[in-house]
Amino acid sequence: MTFYEEVGGAETFDRLVHAFYVGVAADPELRALYPEEDLAPAERRLRMFLEQYFGGPNAYSQERGHPRLRMRHAPFPVTLDMRDRWMRHMLAAMETLDLPEAHAEAMRDYFMRAAHMLVNTDETPPPAGTGAPSSSPVGPEGRPTL
């Protein structure tokens, strides 16, 4: 069984992404970054991407090509604040699924890493000026250094 099947297949990803976009729609600052008036196409793209990433059908790549997520996010200023908003809505959406803890943790880990990787603005994370300790895996721009 793939991870995709283990967590409940299409229905699970449908519920997850739908709950996530309900959160985005209710968050004016994050919502302002989404170019389209209708969030349904964005919801569909994220759903197809996540299904593919977690071992389901590869409709995303058939329709959109290689994911290249960092490049696709380049037009949007993904600040630390926006990343945190995005994560908050995704974690809340995850809660609605009630998955076995090991599966939930694997998904949260992925979202955490991907969201860090997508930050594309030069900011020093607060508190200003202190920087990250040298042993921190997070660089001065709030992105993992790996």
Residues that bind ligand HEM (CB under 6 A): 30, 33-34, 36, 42, 45-46, 49, 64, 69, 72-73, 76, 78, 82-83, 86, 111, 114-115, 118
Per-residue tokens: 146? 């790996």
Find the shortest distance in angstroms from Cβ 3 to ligand HEM: 15
d(CA 79, CA 67): 21
Find the shortest distance in angstroms from Cβ 32 to ligand HEM: 9
Nearer to ligand HEM, 83 or 94 (CB): 83
Find the shortest distance in angstroms from Cβ 74 to ligand HEM: 11
Nearer to ligand HEM, 62 or 136 (CB): 62
Taking CB atoms, the residue at the shortest distance from ligand HEM is 114
Nearer to ligand HEM, 46 or 93 (CB): 46
Q: Which residue, among 20, 40, 15, 29, has the nearest Cα to 90 in the 3D structure?
A: 20
DSSP, collapsed to helix, strand or coil, labels residue 32 as coil
Peptide bond into 133 cis (omega under 30): no
Report the sign of the C-alpha dihedral through residues 81, 83, 84, 88, in that order.
Answer: positive
Find the shortest distance in angstroms from Cβ 50 to ligand HEM: 7
Cβ-proximal residues to 58 (8 Å cutoff; 6+ apart), any chain: 52
Q: Which residue, among 61, 65, 57, has the nearest Cα to 10 in the 3D structure?
A: 57
Nearer to ligand HEM, 14 or 34 (CB): 34
